[in-house]
Amino acid sequence: MNIKLVDLNLQYQNIKNEIDAAVHGVLDSGQFILGPDVTALEKEAAQYLNVNYAIGVASGTDALHLALLACGICSGDEVITTPFTFIATCEAITYCGAVPVFVDIDPKTFNINPVKVEEKISKKTKAIIPIHMYGQAAEMEPILEIAKKFQLKVVEDVAQAFGGEYKNKKLGTFGDAGCTSFFPSKNLGAYGDGGMVFTNDEKIADKVKILRVHGSKEKYFHDLIGFNSRLDTLQAAIVRVKLKYIDQWNNMRIEHAEQRYNKLLSNCNVVTPYTEHYNKHVYHLYTILINNREGCRKFLNNRGISSAIHYPIPIHLQKSFEYLGFSAEDFPVSSEISQKTLSLPMFPELKEKEITYVIKTVKEFLEST
Ligand SMILES: Cc1ncc(COP(=O)(O)O)c(C=O)c1O
């Protein structure tokens, strides 16, 4: 049996008629930059999340970059986040001329440890980026309290958690801004790059809107030096179709994770994802902790099962961030967890017999070592 980590083609086949019609609609309209599909998606996404504004941009990385700029982050500022993330979170901070200041993660949820945030705040600190890793909310209440106390902006990285909730409220709606990615393999993915900024703040929304089109409100009148960072119209039309299915797909992920994977792996020598009872974890990734991860990956691969590592090197140990001068011991939880994470196949269309086969194979591996 061959099982992919994410099967985008299978999903496309299920919604082919709608996607093809949406794409042809754009082709027939001849409107390829912004236009009605981008505006409609912005409205629909804002409605889904119950926020005032949603602004489509070229990628999740750009969403973070433009949101930070719109929050006033600039050269010399410090922005708090964790080193246990995809590099884009930290790149966006550096694009503003700011410095990432790392806080280690909670060993159970892999999200920023709120208890350790305050000790990292200096006069230069301007913002916190909580990342909702793998689909589960960061601990938003204490983070918002700290932000209020020290007058910091909060920019949520929702790239892995669209539709996820913290205490019955959608992620991406707690901070000054929320940023998501429509990278194809994300739980709400396009068929190319794309991203979006969510906010209730009119000033932040206006600034992101201007920044994404070369700093102009009116064509050829440039008030700021901006960027070319529009959400592609074809991608917007595709995401509009997929947005209608997001709750159904997220619920299928939850069922795979909680009713199958977690239960079948419960008495094995692996750590299954820990979910706080007040979180709706949407399992963009189903990631376990396992010793001898490389051996397991090879074993799975030889039996047709794809897996992945999110992420093998935490940001404080990446070559690109060597200049910050950190070593593994500076953020011991992130350093250790990075050695053990293994993401197993996870996508809504995954079949029960496929999950059973994955589990059986993981168990065979564990018994063989
Ligand atoms: C946590 C996180 N932040 C940011 C990004 C960046 O998104 P994009 O690839 O759309 O630029 C990603 C995904 O790639 C991500 O996983």
Is 158 a pocket residue for ligand 1 (Cβ < 6 Å)?
Answer: no
Is 69's pLDDT higher than 90?
A: yes
Pairing of strands 177-181, 221-222: unpaired
pLDDT of residue 34: 97
Residues 6+ apart with CB under 8 A from 124: 76, 77, 78, 99
Q: Does residue 141 contact residue 115 with C-beta atoms inside 8 Å?
A: no
pLDDT of residue 325: 98
- At residue 192 the predicted structure's pLDDT band, cuts being 50, 70 and 90, is very high
How many CB atoms are closer than 10 A to CB 229?
21
Is 85 a pocket residue for ligand 1 (Cβ < 6 Å)?
Answer: yes
- At residue 317 the predicted structure's pLDDT band, cuts being 50, 70 and 90, is very high
In the reported structure, the alpha carbon of residue 356 is separated from the centroid of ligand 1 by a whole-number distance in angstroms of 30
Q: Ligand 1 test: best mutation among 93, 183, 287, 310, most atoms within 8 Å of CB?
A: 183
pLDDT of residue 2: 97
Tokens read off for 277: 């009872």
Is 27's pLDDT higher than 90?
A: yes
In the reported structure, the alpha carbon of residue 193 is separated from the centroid of ligand 1 by a whole-number distance in angstroms of 10
150-157 mean pLDDT: 98
Q: Helices H, strands E: what count in the chain?
A: 13, 14
- At residue 65 the predicted structure's pLDDT band, cuts being 50, 70 and 90, is very high
Q: Which atom of ligand 1 is nearest to the CA of 186?
A: 13
In the reported structure, the alpha carbon of residue 232 is separated from the centroid of ligand 1 by a whole-number distance in angstroms of 17
User: Is pTM beyond 0.95 here?
Assistant: yes
Tens digit of each residue's pLDDT (9 = 90 or more) over 110-124 = 999 999 999 999 999
CA-closest candidate to residue 194, choices 184, 186, 182: 182
pLDDT of residue 216: 97
pLDDT of residue 154: 98
Sign of CA dihedral 310, 315, 318, 320: positive
pLDDT of residue 230: 98
CA-closest candidate to residue 284, choices 356, 189, 214, 353: 189
Q: Does residue 65 contact residue 88 with C-beta atoms inside 8 Å?
A: no
120-133 mean pLDDT: 98
In the reported structure, the alpha carbon of residue 352 is separated from the centroid of ligand 1 by a whole-number distance in angstroms of 29
Question: Quick one: 149 exposed, middle or buried, by C-beta within 10 A (0-12, 13-18, 19+)?
Answer: exposed
> Cα–Cα distance between 66 and 59 in angstroms, integer?
10
Tens digit of each residue's pLDDT (9 = 90 or more) over 343-359 = 999 999 999 999 999 99
Domains of the chain in sequence order? 8-243 (3.40.640.10), 246-368 (3.90.1150.10)
pLDDT of residue 369: 87
> Cα–Cα distance between 103 and 85 in angstroms, integer?
12
